[in-house]
């Protein structure tokens, strides 16, 4: 079944609110407000986000709040703590069926290209993608170059390799960390072909810096953002959201 | 099916009697009395514990005694000896179906975050959790930061990471070793969101020290205790139990 | 189904004839007589043993001889050569179903606690145990402390850890190498709770030494012996068997 | 079912257009034109290639363009990035069923003989081959000697070993990198027995050099080419294609 | 079902023609004649061999020639290249079902005792043996002591260990490399009990040397030969075959 991307997009673009940092980084990213998933759901609803990204645990325990918010749910299917030593691998923590029962409109999965576990990562991703596509659920691939195999490679080459991997492996949207200039980003977007490229927000920036970056991303051909800390760590998340939406959707 | 937590709780709180040390530590923790599971079942029954925690082997061989006691049975689904070298991993030793046949009202599973086996641990936990939740059986996650990846991290960060992992991965109760002050514990409880935090009893303390600690745990927002050695190594386990219940349930 | 132990026991005790050494040690243990499984079956039959222990290969190829002997068959389900390097692990070589078809009255499985493969060993054992117990077939666990994790531990602690592991993991009988004094053995037997402890015979001893040891084992609470080399390397295995039976059954 | 090779061949020979480099090498092989799969499909169609080789992701996202082109689709079932460290292994990224649904007329799979992962590679290949042959789908094995085990071996020995591995393992076509003289290549072709040998194009050469090499391959008994960079990096791919076809089909 | 050995034997003995060297050693063993499987099939047929041993790939591609020859087919189910580094392990490349469909009268499988992969090898062998015996197909175990665990052991001990492993694990015929004197070989044959021992031919010898060795093998109790290079590298394979048959069958 063709993945149903339309319900996740506005004019072909998307602004997603990411909140998988509790597992990936631990609660150090949080303060007394944003440690609470309900605070996040409120931002997602009032800000009119195209989706909110949770791990299964939060999606289950806060299912009624998520449902009431009507924000499309994106379940992140794999995850790891930052404590896990060695080259990264992020095991599946939720099946596509479970995500579907939780009402997910899309699923996410992180791949670390260049990791010594790349083969195992690709194999699990492949199965999850097949399961999702059978059900018409879009797959968002977080593709991050990491681990031993990335040493000595340029950021530009790695970014384009990441987006291209999204295309070659069959993702519907590829999420990447952008750390290159506009030209290199445009090349990476081109390398993704028909697959939409969404930029990660990354760690906290000044609002001006952030908005200027987002405009650059969009000009380079990105289809939007999956942003977390910059929004829910902001003093006024909704005011920032307005600016982000203008930068993303025009 | 929604996990049936209610039957395990008293006013939303719980005092569990843990007895999985025979496998985890070996019989060195035991004396001539408490080496016998029947002694433990007796304490659990007469003390009115919310549950008693056994490995499958004991749950099977002492099934009639456990049943007669009417203490809710919690089967610990995985385990390892302390002899196993290298970073910790605790393999599944009992399925959810077997636990259910044994009459388990909840199941437990230990996760070592920061272990080089974290990915494998998460994957097995994820399956067990799915099996349990399908049957409406609550899952208690023992989340212990251990192994190479925890070196150099603060106790405070690790504890909050542990409780948050319980939430993100979908546990119903998260059991942790508390080794931080009240403020850091309160933060860790908050990080767990809707998931209940239960403190491990740890090794033997003086009664006064123990009760004072338990009060601190409860004040910080914990939902109870899973305690073993302090109780069944006590000269008068039932007298101590009374004090513990007062500290936990008020 | 409850494991059917009764058919293997005499007054609650057992004398088993072990013959898995061909795989575990190679033929170096053998002479021109005892290299032949038929010689072993003859001893088991004429000596009135409670069971004879074979690997699948021998159980299959000598099925008619075994059947005719009416000695209860115990199939050892896993095994390894002594040549395999590194920490020990003994893979499954026969399923419970196959053992059942071969007429097995019990199955055996070796676990190496302290091995770096402990987790994998426990997982396979757990499955085999479940299969066996579904069919009412008793499981005899050979529990041997071995490998990196046992270094620096006392023999007394390791023995009690071994028997306790048998209980915690759900075995019906636990077979151990006894290398401690009577008091430590009694403690280890106690640690096993309702699980019967059977002593391995070990390498060849003088008859007097052996019988005196066996008496000590029984006095310490053991439920019998699983003995091989001392019997089938003896000049008169049946004469020795008589003495052993007296020591075991009284 | 007998693999249906005929639809892929012209007079028993084949000229395939390979485009799996986006995953294997990253986009560094590409320019503004050939980064786009549509450009490749156009060359394949207008050049009259016997097949075009894509990973699943491209085969899916560009399914309508591929179908319209009527070029036989060959789905490469496994792949890896060049970033993955250590001895090579290329995990399955698409099943035979998926490839079939995508309309594949053949499937491809890369095997690295001499890699420390050889056993795992062989096992996955074996399963894929069985699946494919059940459906009558031909299997093209990319057999590349790589990794620790190939050190110190001659190119001649390795090439013949590669083609022979294709025969012994049951491939229908074996694709190899030719880096030996005509005599050694003829020996390698002979070693493949009834299995057709197809030469990889490799990195960019001058047209004359390329055509002269191709003639040498065909004279040595090869059944054709699977060529990528030399074609889609050419200034006039169709002109080059004409020359290639003459060299291959005569 | 009882394995049907009779169709493979002449007076309880066997002369098999082995041709799995193309994968195990590469084509370096071959010349312009014997590189072609048809040449081998011809020798097997005209020489009246009890079986010819092929990998799946050759058994499939030359199925009609094999069928026409009426030589019993033995499919070697696992294999590896000699390039694979580290301790040996030979993965399954063909299932018992596939072998059966190809008309196999027996299947072969190589086990490396003493390899650090011994456990994994034993586990796969065990499954294949079960599959084969369910269908009444005899299993020939190539048992070769190899790898780290064999260092410092005597050839005599290793050979008897190999044949005994065949018995303990349930093979029907065990194939070994004989590199010991007649007495040690007789002991190894005895260690195999009811399992037939077949000697490998090994690398090329003078005819006289070979025949004299074969006579020694048979006198020591072997049930025949699985011979390859000595036959198909011979200038007159059929003349040699005659001598071999006389030495084997008398």
Helices (H), B135-180: 155-169
pLDDT classification of D203: cutoffs 50, 70, 90: confident
Which residues, in sequence order, are CB contacts of D4 under 8 Å at separation 6+?
D105, D136, D137, D138
Residue B19 sits at φ, ψ, to 5 deg, of -150, 50
Measure the CA angle with vertex D102, ends D100 and D108; round to 5°.
60
CB A8 within 8 A of CB A50: yes
For C202-216, what is each residue's pLDDT tens digit?
888 999 999 999 999
Identify the three-state secondary structure at position B5: coil
Query: A167 and D57 in contact by Cβ < 8 A?
Result: yes
For C31, C138, C154, C173, C248, the CA distances from C16, given in Å and listed in that order, are 21, 14, 28, 12, 11
For A65-94, what is each residue's pLDDT tens digit?
999 999 999 999 999 999 999 999 999 999
Q: How far is residue C33's CA from residue C37's CA, in Å, rounded to a whole number?
A: 9
Q: What are the residue numbers of the active site of C?
A: 144, 175
* Residue in this structure with the two tokens 């692990």, named with its chain if needed: C89
CB C193 within 8 A of CB B58: yes
CB E145 within 8 A of CB E162: yes
- Structure tokens of B49? 């514990």
For C175-210, what is each residue's pLDDT tens digit?
999 999 999 999 999 999 999 999 999 888 999 999
Query: D57 and A115 in contact by Cβ < 8 A?
Result: no
Beta strands in A42-189 (DSSP E): 51-55, 73-76, 104-113, 139-145, 173-176
Query: B113 and A83 in contact by Cβ < 8 A?
Result: yes
Which of B149, B171, B190 is facing A84, going by the closest CB pair?
A: B149
The yes-or-no verdict on residue E1 having pLDDT over 80 is no
Query: E81 and D171 in contact by Cβ < 8 A?
Result: no
Q: How far is residue D166's CA from residue B137's CA, in Å, rounded to a whole number?
A: 52
**Which pLDDT does position D101 carry in this prediction?**
98
Residues 75-104 (E) with a CB less than 8 A from some CB of D: 79-81, 83-86, 89-95, 98
CA distance E180 to chain C (A): 16
Residues 169-208 (A) with a CB less than 8 A from some CB of D: 169-171, 187-188, 190-191, 193-195
Query: C85 and E171 in contact by Cβ < 8 A?
Result: no
**Which pLDDT does position E117 carry in this prediction?**
98
Which of B118, B122, B164 is facing A26, going by the closest CB pair?
A: B164
**Which pLDDT does position E203 carry in this prediction?**
85
For D226, E72, E136, E137, E190, the CA distances from E6, given in Å and listed in that order, are 48, 12, 11, 11, 21
**Which pLDDT does position E200 carry in this prediction?**
95
Mean of pLDDT values over B191-219: 96
- Structure tokens of A85? 């030593």
- A-chain CB neighbours of D92 within 8 Å are 123, 126
Cα four-point dihedral sign C90, B123, B73, B189: positive
**Which pLDDT does position D96 carry in this prediction?**
98
The yes-or-no verdict on residue C1 having pLDDT over 80 is no
**Which pLDDT does position C202 carry in this prediction?**
82
Q: How far is residue E154's CA from residue E159's CA, in Å, rounded to a whole number?
A: 9
Report which secondary-structure segment, H or E, holds D66.
Answer: helix D63-69
Q: Which region among B159-163, C3-7, C223-227, D121-125 has the lowest average model confidence (pLDDT)?
A: C3-7
**Which pLDDT does position A2 carry in this prediction?**
86
Q: What secondary structure letter does DSSP report for C78?
A: B
For E80-116, what is each residue's pLDDT tens digit?
999 999 999 999 999 999 999 999 999 999 999 999 9
The yes-or-no verdict on residue D26 having pLDDT over 80 is yes
Do D and A touch, counting CB pairs below 8 Å (3 needed)?
Answer: yes
DSSP secondary structure letters along C120-162: HHHHHHHHHHHHHHHTT--EEEEEEE-SGGGTT--HHHHHHHH
For E11-49, what is each residue's pLDDT tens digit?
999 999 999 999 999 999 999 999 999 999 999 999 999
For C140-185, what is each residue's pLDDT tens digit?
999 999 999 999 999 999 999 999 999 999 999 999 999 999 999 9
Q: How far is residue A21's CA from residue A92's CA, in Å, rounded to a whole number?
A: 16
Nearest to D114 by CA among D163, D160, D151, D142: D151
Which of C148, C170, C193 is facing B85, going by the closest CB pair?
A: C148
The yes-or-no verdict on residue D1 having pLDDT over 80 is no
Nearest CA in chain A to D28: A157
Nearest to E214 by CA among E192, E245, E183: E245
**Which pLDDT does position E163 carry in this prediction?**
98
For B7-28, what is each residue's pLDDT tens digit?
899 999 999 999 999 999 999 9
Could you tell me what percent of chain D has a pLDDT over 70? 100
Torsion of CA E87, E91, E96, E100, to 10 degrees: -100
Which of E165, E193, E195 is facing C81, going by the closest CB pair?
A: E165
**Which pLDDT does position C203 carry in this prediction?**
84
Which of D35, D62, D89 is facing A119, going by the closest CB pair?
A: D89
Q: How far is residue C119's CA from residue C114's CA, in Å, rounded to a whole number?
A: 10
Q: Name subunits touching D (3+ CB pairs < 8 A).
A: A, E
**Which pLDDT does position B136 carry in this prediction?**
97
pLDDT classification of C120: cutoffs 50, 70, 90: very high
CA distance C101 to chain E (A): 11
E32 at interface of D, judged by CB pairs closer than 8 A: yes
Query: A23 and B148 in contact by Cβ < 8 A?
Result: no
First to last CA, chain D: 32
**Which pLDDT does position E26 carry in this prediction?**
97
Nearest CA in chain A to D85: A149
Which residues, in sequence order, are CB contacts of C69 under 8 Å at separation 6+?
C41, C42, C44, C45, C52
For E170-224, what is each residue's pLDDT tens digit?
999 999 999 999 999 999 999 999 999 999 998 889 999 999 999 999 999 999 9
In this prediction the ipTM stands at 0.97
CB B129 within 8 A of CB B169: yes
Q: How far is residue E145's CA from residue B167's CA, in Å, rounded to a whole number?
A: 51
Residue of C22, C59, C83, C86 to mutate, testing the E interface (most E Cβ within 10 Å of its Cβ): C83
**Which pLDDT does position B202 carry in this prediction?**
83
Mean of pLDDT values over B70-99: 98
pLDDT in tens, chain A (250 residues): 789 899 899 999 999 999 999 999 999 999 999 999 999 999 999 999 999 999 999 999 999 999 999 999 999 999 999 999 999 999 999 999 999 999 999 999 999 999 999 999 999 999 999 999 999 999 999 999 999 999 999 999 999 999 999 999 999 999 999 999 999 999 999 999 999 999 999 888 999 999 999 999 999 999 999 999 999 999 999 999 999 999 999 9
pLDDT classification of E138: cutoffs 50, 70, 90: very high
**Which pLDDT does position B1 carry in this prediction?**
76
- C-chain CB neighbours of E164 within 8 Å are 22-23, 26-27
CB B84 within 8 A of CB B51: no
**Which pLDDT does position D81 carry in this prediction?**
98
């Amino acid at each position: 079944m063709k993945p149903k991307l339309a319900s996740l997009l506005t004019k072909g673009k998307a602004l997603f609110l990411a909140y998988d940092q509790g597992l990936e980084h631990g609660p150090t990213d949080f303060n007394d407000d944003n440690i609470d998933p309900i605070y996040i759901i409120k931002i997602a609803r009032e800000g009119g986000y195209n989706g909110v990204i949770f791990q299964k645990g939060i999606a289950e325990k806060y299912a009624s709040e998520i449902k009431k918010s009507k924000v499309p749910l994106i379940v992140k299917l794999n995850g790891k703590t930052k404590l896990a030593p060695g080259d990264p691998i992020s095991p599946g923590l939720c099946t596509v069926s479970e995500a579907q029962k939780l009402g997910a409109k899309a699923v996410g999965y992180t791949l670390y290209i260049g990791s010594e576990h790349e083969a195992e990562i690709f194999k699990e991703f492949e199965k999850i993608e097949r399961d999702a596509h059978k059900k018409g659920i879009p797959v968002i691939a977080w593709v991050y170059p990491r681990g031993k195999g990335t040493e000595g490679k340029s950021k530009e080459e790695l970014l384009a390799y990441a987006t291209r991997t999204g295309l070659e492996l069959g993702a519907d949207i590829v999420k990447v960390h952008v750390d290159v200039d506009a030209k290199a980003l445009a090349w990476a977007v081109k390398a993704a072909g028909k697959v939409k490229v969404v930029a990660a927000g990354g760690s906290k920036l000044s609002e001006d810096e952030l908005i200027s970056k987002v405009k650059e991303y969009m000009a380079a051909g990105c289809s939007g953002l999956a942003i977390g800390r910059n929004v829910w760590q902001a003093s006024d998340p909704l005011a920032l959201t307005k600016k982000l939406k203008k930068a993303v959707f025009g």
